[in-house]
Structure 1
Amino acid sequence: MRTKSIFTLLTFLFCMTGLFAQQYTVSGKVTDNEGVPLAGASVFVADRGIGATTDENGDYTLTLSGGKLILEATYVGFSQSTKSLNVTGDMEDVNFELTSGMSLEEVVIYSGSRKPEKLTNSPSTIVSISPREIEEFPGNPAELLARKKGVDYFRAGIATPAFNIRGFNSNFNSKNLMVVDNRFSSLVATGLPLGPLSTVIKEDTEQAEVILGPNATLYGPNAHNGLLNITTKDPRKYEGTTLVANVGVNGDGNAFYSQRARFAKKFNDHWAVKVTGEYTRAEEFKYADSVYIDRKDADGNPGRDGIKEGYEEFQLDPDVRFLKAEATAIYSPSQGTDLIATYGHSNSTYLSATNVGRNQIVDWRINIFQLRFKTRNFFAQVYHTTSKTDDTYSIDDRTKAYYAGIDAGMTPEEAGGDFSYSTGALFKDDSNRWNAEVQYSNDFFNDKLELVTGIQWQLDRANSLGTYLLDKDENDFIEVGQLGGYVHGLYDLNGGFKFLGAARVDNHEIYGTNFIPKLGLIKEFNKGSFRITYGQGIAAPTILNMYGDLFSGLILGNAEGFTLIDGTVIDPQDVEKLNTYEAGYRGTIGKNFYIDANAYYNNNKNFLSPVTVIGVASHRGDTPIEEVQSGYAIYNGLVATYINFGEVNTYGTDLSLTYSINPKLSVTANYSYFDYSYDKNNPENDFNKDGEVNFLDVLVNAPKNKGSLGINYSGNSFYGTFFTRWVQEYNYFSSFQIASETLPGYTYRGVPIVENAPSGDSFNYGPLGGFATVDLNAGYRFSKTFSLGVAITNLFNQDLREFTASPPTRGLYLLETKFNF
């Protein structure tokens, strides 16, 4: 009864927000570039849920409340067109001319200010994947990130495409935040982006943007290196049923197939729904990593004079499976006021690279429950994310345990059973997270000041059922709370100049209060803008960093610090801090040429290190190490953990040039340069404590140069892209993982750095990158109902070394059939 009363009250309040708002009429016509009316085109108000469809004459009419807005016009086979309006009365002849093919016109985004804006006017460095690009690419839309400037894109296998921004990549990288429909999409305990675990399917993805560099003022302490923001399709704008089937084969001859469906319906002015689903099945590229083990002879003595021997991963399962479903219902009590409820589920099985080899992800289930409230000036949401797996395990550790059992005289069946998980190889997870946010946006001082302000709350509740965290059982949750508030203001200084001032205050239960500012000056021209910005970012340690308990306590979290047996004190981890200075230009030159360029300089302090051995500990915090380390009898207090260290400067530039040969044919060239510097005389930079500061302490893990070239054709019926990408060779070090050329006189983790040779517990196959590859995709719309597409990734089936603890990625060849009703 109480719940019903609350719902009735909320509905009444929602209605009141729009009841007294002045309503105006906006009308116009949508045509092609030859003036032919486009019947059935969609005209939509960005982020308001208000739209109309053109009649047989291409005419439309909208009734809406006043204020600043962005109007979008779309039609199948044509590029989206947008107009910025300030509606203060009825408006006629708001006309759109759509072109068949790629357009140089700015697209609407939602990342830079958490409100609709033109890309050319954004105060942030953003690359956007447009709705048309997603629609016309038959493969995984994550592949489109490789076609954007400033993004280090790599594949850790057929199921795990990933990206990094501006250096400091690792096999366990939580410095890039993933946001889907305003909700943070990351794993609770590790902070890793959901990536393949996401509940969203391609056909429901409207647009994706990547912010290059920190955006912590609006998105919090985990938007450190960059941000991937995904917006799904509004069922009122994208109605109908879509059925898709992909079949294909990878370069090893293994099959791939995927079936996806989306249904969306606007029932009336008050109700709309959408439902999506996906089932994907594939087999990973053929590859078995080498695990290096100290084998024992029958008497328990080291075999082969103590030299580690390499063995293939034990019981490797190359099967890849994804099951996804999502449903959304929208209730609009009045125009421009929405209550949106979303439920999503995914179940995923695949291989995932980590710092200590690969993990076998087995039936990892993600559930999201999200409730959003939106009006013209207010946004509020609450959402709940759950994460659960019972059978995921470390292949590396399980392999070592198996052969230890064999050496102890066990049968293969005995060694490969429960015993193979006895050293902590099994990972269970039953974690959840609560998030809530309230946001207000408005214009003040005669529309001179655009203001966005809000409060965000997050409560992480991690539980590993005693497998990889310092919890004890299913009832022992590790809880960490965060509360942050932000304000983002853009003030019009006249003459095309705008001043950006933004700030955030975050209070973290473990790491206290942090203040994060951002300042900028933007100069807008007729067809572009120039910007200069300064911003800060912080990266807070994850729950795994703070309370990890891996492999019977060999790896322990560092929330409380350690004392070594020689009295050395290892401080608890703190936040990593980043200061960024950036300049950029974005806009069109003439009618056919578009340029997007930026340069940046970063100062990075207090790095959050990859897992590293600190020595033999006597205490974790105030607790004797034998009471914390379950494998104390084996390790005798030897601990690996995460620490802060050093200061490094990074700098670079990103350039993207697009030339439109004609409305249907365009060419895009991208180039990025990245480099770094550090003080060799600063002892805090001596991460490995060998008395010398060099590149092995910094571990930048990024190519210095990379570039790409794309030729895009997009017509009413036929569309296609030729794309080639070049990545310069670079050395890569991430905890136990190494990919480097031979470096005479240097050692990593106590082992000489030699290419194509064992290196500790892993194998050094040589540097990453050092390749140029070609991708192709094409499609044909036979009608509005049916289209056929092909996508070829890595056309020549090269062995590309893109990541460690991963197979060399080879070709992937897909055929897609799509039906729209």
Structure 2
Amino acid sequence: MIKKMILLAFIAFSSVAMVAQTTVTGTVKDAKTGETIPGANIKISRKAVGTTTDFDGNFVLQVTDKPPFTLEISVLGFHPEKIEITKNNQKVIASLIENETSLDEIVVSASRTPERIMESPVTVERMDSRSIKNTSAPSFYDGLENLKGVDINTNSLTFKSVNTRGFATFSNTRFMQLVDGMDNSSPALNFALGNLLGMSELDVKTVELLPGASSALYGANAFNGIMFMTSKSPFEDQGISVSLKSGITSQDAAGDNEFKDLNIRMAYAFSDKFAAKATLSYLKGTEWYATDYRNTKDGSYTSGDRNSDRNYDGLNVYGDEVSTNLRGVAETLEGLGILPSGAAALVPSENVSRTGYDERDLMTYEAKSVKFGGSLNYRPFGDDRLEIVWNSKFGIGNTIYQGTNRYNIKDFLMEQHKLEVKGKNFFVRGYVTSEDAGNSYDTRFAAININRAWKDDNTWFGEYTGAFVQGTLAGLTADQAHAVARQTAESGRLLPGSAGFKAAFEEVIQDPDLVTGAKFQDNTKYYHADANYNLQDITDWAEFQVGGSYRLYSLNSNGSIFTDYDGPIEYNEYGVYTQAQKKFLEEDRLKITASIRYDKAQNFEGNFSPRISFAYAGGENKNQNFRASFQTGFRNPTTQDQYIGLNAGRGFLVGSAPDNLDRYTTSPLTVSGGGQFIANNFGTTPIGSTTSISGRMAYENAFSQSSVEAFAADQSNLPTNANVALVKPEKVTAFEVGYRGIVPTGDSNISVDLSVYYNQYEDFIANKNVVVPFYGDVNLTQTAPVGPGGANVPLALIAIGNGDFAGFQTYTNSAADINSYGASIGLNTKVFNDFNLGLNYTYSKFDFDQASDPDFEAGFNTPEHKVKLQFGNTNLFKNFGFNINARWQDEYRWESTFLDATIASRTVLDAQINYSVPTWKSVFKLGGANLTGKEYLSAPGVGAIGSQYYLSWTINN
């Protein structure tokens, strides 16, 4: 037995010895300074076999391949080098040339083919793992705000919205975000929830961002811009990496609160053919408290609070939107005999609102995010000619989303699963994205229905009016009578923190019926497939590409958001495209790229999106590059634009897909006694004490809201028919010119990146607020006599006067001429030999005549001027570096369905210092965001953004 074991061990040892046939050793150096380069990648060309240099820049590579073969040596920031290996035990000395500028980095997104940023035909911004390590922001996603032309609007600690070139919103449906080729927008909300289903910081290889329209290659919704996040391959980047980050957030309203951020990445290549990786991210902290209690009863900030305004509607107070006219209540009570005859005359025609609850009473403000990702990668031939990838991502967490209302997104789950086959010149992939809203809820309806749980609106306003009449009859002044009335109506109020409040709160947030509850219920998903093939190995005259995509939506909110009462709503869209790229002139200095794409969505006509661009590389080293492009973009109406059916409290939202108009009807609405008499005696449709309004009426029998407001101010201004057309895709035509180049300045060079653009929009998707009368037609043809022998008055105007109407938000397109234009310039250089200095400026301007469409609110939401500064040194002295980022932007107007307001200018300072410990394979970083401590708002209604301080320890990355 022992002899057999020795024999087997000898055979095993011999086989191992025979497998390890070739050994290569070497050193990698910086060609300019002669210093060795740690962490350089050494691999056999087109294979996963390889290693990295140690902290002294040396490597030993043992492989089964027999010479000759090619080694590829690369590291971020340097030009890669290839070395031929011709014998065993060959010793290699590689000298890498540092990139002259970041413009020498390679990008793929601009033309779907590798090219230097310097030679890209359109504007490209880029962040790689090296710049991520050096960012002063608390996370790589926050650090995107330091890129030229990029805006980030902070909804909450865990939800940042990335945008370029205007029209920023938290529901940013005009900007796409792709993670390893997958669109990670929410299927129901139609926009990315920041990095909730994004990527672990340790797994990010590159982030490429294309500002402006990109529909010619990427289809619908690549309208304002598109961002590509690409992860590291388990074949190329192996090992276990860990990042531990902890710190505090500091805000006046919330105080100082701890946050923690943990990231783990594990990757291993089991062979040339099979590799796998897994990533885990966990973040927990406290959201920015929203505590702006200014009065917003007229849709903007006004003076007055609950003590001075009886119809108070605080910004971050909910439930006080429920308001009614006291005179109308008194007349009803008098008609029912509850109040004595003549009592109504004692009550002023004045609106009064219920007492609301502060947002901080309705949210836990717990920020949490857990992300898991994994992939299985298989290369049938043992190299990168063909690779099959299965990739799954899961993200669950808590955040805050501000749309028409403020939503507490709690235990929200999104997941994606992708199967992809790719090679040197092609890819084919299919994936599914699904979501579960978990325990999310609408804070406005939570407050409204908690109020109604302890006392319904009719009782509350009835008690208020009755107490007011009694107080007036007792000789109290109006202010005194109102105070007594509110005190009387408030009897039995559930106080925040009490057992009764907690019980009512829990019941309401688990109820998806907004008449009685507040739960945000959704299980929507979409299925997507796309493919691309580059014919560069087949065609010699030019580089041709062809591709296409298909998407199927399945809306499933059980009737709580969409009109999917009787089952999921399904619809599809698809697109095909082609691109040709040809180089001309000596040394291929002129590059012309032409693309065209055709897209068709189920509910809309087809759309063509062309693009043509010119790029000329001048100068001795092709370092003076000029570009010009013409391209188009389009955006399909979102799932909500088409199929929403929702009572938002302040009005009803109804999508305008043709099959949606009759599917949606409101809950029963109360009709006045006088309105019932008029409608039943002079109208064409009988009406009872309540009525319901269909979605079709909002589009076909409604007044514009602005004309109703004008009529209320002056009854000689008759309200006008809104004439709301059904929504269709919006389009943009974009013109851009730019320059990228190197300007010599003695000992160092300045890299310059300049772009100027002009955008023309057509059929801009817009919301139009309308008013639907309960009876009568908006063309004012149906009339009734008012008073004995009185003149005939249109029934619809009588309905407006009686308060017998409902407000709707419709989805349509603006016919107004809308344009935007802007420019950006970025300058980067080295000063004092090794210090990096960067400065960029962005100008954005919106051109729109409000008088051409008074009811349209574009929501450009972008500062006109932005300046960003970066200063740092990655190696100030041995193993020590630092980086400072400063940003300034001027004030701008924010427009949204939540509130319109002016956002003040701000200056934000971020900084970090870092220290490397090579023997531990570790980097320690100490940093902070908004170090001046001056709090600022991204939009009205969100929490004021305070300061964030952190200490991180990153191992083996």
TM-score normalised by the shorter chain: which range applies? 0.7 to 0.9
Q: Deviations over 1:288-320 (max 9, x none)?
A: 423342357999679994144664125222011
For 1:589, give the aligned amino acid: V
Inter-partner Cα distance in structure 2 for 1:686 and 1:425:
33
RMSD of aligned Cα (Å):
3.5
Q: How does 1:418-497 map to 2 (within 5 A)?
A: 418-419=507-508, 421=511, 422-423=514-515, 425-443=518-536, 447-472=540-565, 476-495=567-586, 496-497=589-590
Which residue matches 1:327? 374
Which residue matches 1:221? 220
Shift of 1:806: 0.7
Shift of 1:280: 1.2
Inter-partner Cα distance in structure 2 for 1:714 and 1:574:
51
Inter-partner Cα distance in structure 2 for 1:507 and 1:51:
44
Inter-partner Cα distance in structure 1 for 2:399 and 2:370:
12
> Which of 646, 657, 662 matches 1:550?
646
Which residue matches 2:106? 108
Which residue matches 2:420? 372
Shift of 1:727: 0.8
Which residue matches 2:358? 312
Is the 1:40–1:53 Cα contact (8 Å) retained in structure 2? no
Are residues 1:661 and 2:658 paired? Answer: no
Which residue matches 2:199? 200
Shift in CA distance, 269/287, structure 1 to aligned 2, threshold 3 Å: same
Are residues 1:602 and 2:759 paired? Answer: yes
Inter-partner Cα distance in structure 2 for 1:303 and 1:406:
27
Which residue matches 1:700? 860
Inter-partner Cα distance in structure 2 for 1:62 and 1:576:
56
> Structure 1 regions of 5+ residues with no counterpart?
1-25, 620-633, 689-696, 740-766
Shift in CA distance, 51/718, structure 1 to aligned 2, threshold 3 Å: farther
Inter-partner Cα distance in structure 1 for 2:325 and 2:350:
10
Are residues 1:184 and 2:183 paired? Answer: yes
Q: Deviations over 1:222-250 (max 9, x none)?
A: 10000111011112221111112111111
Using the size of structure 1 for normalisation, the TM-score is: 0.82
For 2:187, give the aligned amino acid: V
Shift of 1:419: 5.0
Inter-partner Cα distance in structure 2 for 1:362 and 1:72:
47
Q: Residue 143 of structure 1: SS of its match in structure 2? A: helix
Inter-partner Cα distance in structure 2 for 1:385 and 1:820:
32
Is the 2:246–2:952 Cα contact (8 Å) retained in structure 1? yes
Inter-partner Cα distance in structure 2 for 1:459 and 1:535:
27
Which residue matches 1:585? 739
Inter-partner Cα distance in structure 2 for 1:542 and 1:618:
32
> Which of 385, 395, 401 matches 1:346?
395
Q: Residue 397 of structure 1: SS of its match in structure 2? A: helix
> Which of 908, 915, 929 matches 1:793?
929
Shift in CA distance, 141/534, structure 1 to aligned 2, threshold 3 Å: same
Which residue matches 1:258? 261
Inter-partner Cα distance in structure 2 for 1:776 and 1:102:
25
Which residue matches 1:802? 938
Q: Residue 439 of structure 2: SS of its match in structure 1? A: strand
Is the 2:216–2:595 Cα contact (8 Å) retained in structure 1? yes
Which residue matches 1:118? 116
Inter-partner Cα distance in structure 1 for 2:944 and 2:270:
49
Inter-partner Cα distance in structure 1 for 2:93 and 2:182:
34
Which residue matches 1:279? 282
Inter-partner Cα distance in structure 2 for 1:462 and 1:499:
42
Shift in CA distance, 729/297, structure 1 to aligned 2, threshold 3 Å: closer
Shift of 1:500: 1.1
Q: Residue 254 of structure 1: SS of its match in structure 2? A: strand
Is the 1:617–1:639 Cα contact (8 Å) retained in structure 2? no
Shift of 1:211: 0.6
Inter-partner Cα distance in structure 2 for 1:674 and 1:568:
32
Shift in CA distance, 446/324, structure 1 to aligned 2, threshold 3 Å: closer
Inter-partner Cα distance in structure 1 for 2:167 and 2:121:
24
Are residues 1:290 and 2:317 paired? Answer: yes
Q: How does 1:667-678 map to 2 (within 5 A)?
A: 667-678=837-848
Are residues 1:687 and 2:855 paired? Answer: yes
Shift of 1:156: 2.0
Q: How does 1:72-83 map to 2 (within 5 A)?
A: 73-74=74-75, 79-83=76-80
Is the 1:373–1:379 Cα contact (8 Å) retained in structure 2? yes
Is the 1:41–1:58 Cα contact (8 Å) retained in structure 2? no
Equivalent residues, number: 732
Inter-partner Cα distance in structure 2 for 1:487 and 1:27:
46
Inter-partner Cα distance in structure 2 for 1:513 and 1:49:
43
Inter-partner Cα distance in structure 1 for 2:929 and 2:521:
34
Which residue matches 2:463? none
Q: Residue 284 of structure 2: SS of its match in structure 1? A: strand
For 2:374, give the aligned amino acid: A
Q: Residue 248 of structure 1: SS of its match in structure 2? A: strand
Inter-partner Cα distance in structure 2 for 1:93 and 1:122:
34
Shift of 1:451: 2.2
Is the 1:592–1:661 Cα contact (8 Å) retained in structure 2? no
Q: Name the structure where strand makes up a greater proportion of residues.
A: 1
> Which of 363, 379, 404 matches 2:411?
363
Q: Deviations over 1:309-342 (max 9, x none)?
A: 6641252220111111111111111122111111
Shift in CA distance, 364/125, structure 1 to aligned 2, threshold 3 Å: same
Q: Deviations over 1:475-513 (max 9, x none)?
A: x11112111111122111224111110010011111121
Inter-partner Cα distance in structure 2 for 1:614 and 1:559:
20
Q: Deviations over 1:538-581 (max 9, x none)?
A: 01111111001122781111112621157754211001110000
Q: Residue 426 of structure 1: SS of its match in structure 2? A: coil
Using the size of structure 2 for normalisation, the TM-score is: 0.71
Are residues 1:639 and 2:775 paired? Answer: no
Inter-partner Cα distance in structure 2 for 1:500 and 1:205:
29
Q: Residue 537 of structure 1: SS of its match in structure 2? A: strand
For 2:443, give the aligned amino acid: I
For 1:487, give the aligned amino acid: T
Q: Deviations over 1:74-106 (max 9, x none)?
A: 1xxxx432359999x99x99955255x995452
Is the 1:545–1:557 Cα contact (8 Å) retained in structure 2? yes
Shift of 1:704: 0.8
Which residue matches 1:730? 892
Inter-partner Cα distance in structure 1 for 2:226 and 2:850:
31
Is the 2:769–2:807 Cα contact (8 Å) retained in structure 1? no
For 2:139, give the aligned amino acid: N
Is the 2:161–2:172 Cα contact (8 Å) retained in structure 1? no
Is the 1:564–1:615 Cα contact (8 Å) retained in structure 2? yes
Inter-partner Cα distance in structure 2 for 1:793 and 1:428:
35
Is the 2:535–2:544 Cα contact (8 Å) retained in structure 1? yes
Is the 2:159–2:196 Cα contact (8 Å) retained in structure 1? no
Identity rate, percent: 22
Which residue matches 2:632? 536
Q: Deviations over 1:142-191 (max 9, x none)?
A: 12121111112222221122222111223422110001111111111221
Which residue matches 2:134? 136
Shift of 1:669: 0.4
Inter-partner Cα distance in structure 2 for 1:686 and 1:426:
34
Inter-partner Cα distance in structure 1 for 2:62 and 2:762:
54
Inter-partner Cα distance in structure 2 for 1:139 and 1:531:
35
Q: Deviations over 1:773-808 (max 9, x none)?
A: 111122111116122112201002111121232111
Shift in CA distance, 593/29, structure 1 to aligned 2, threshold 3 Å: farther
For 1:717, give the aligned amino acid: N
Shift in CA distance, 663/202, structure 1 to aligned 2, threshold 3 Å: farther
Inter-partner Cα distance in structure 2 for 1:389 and 1:665:
47
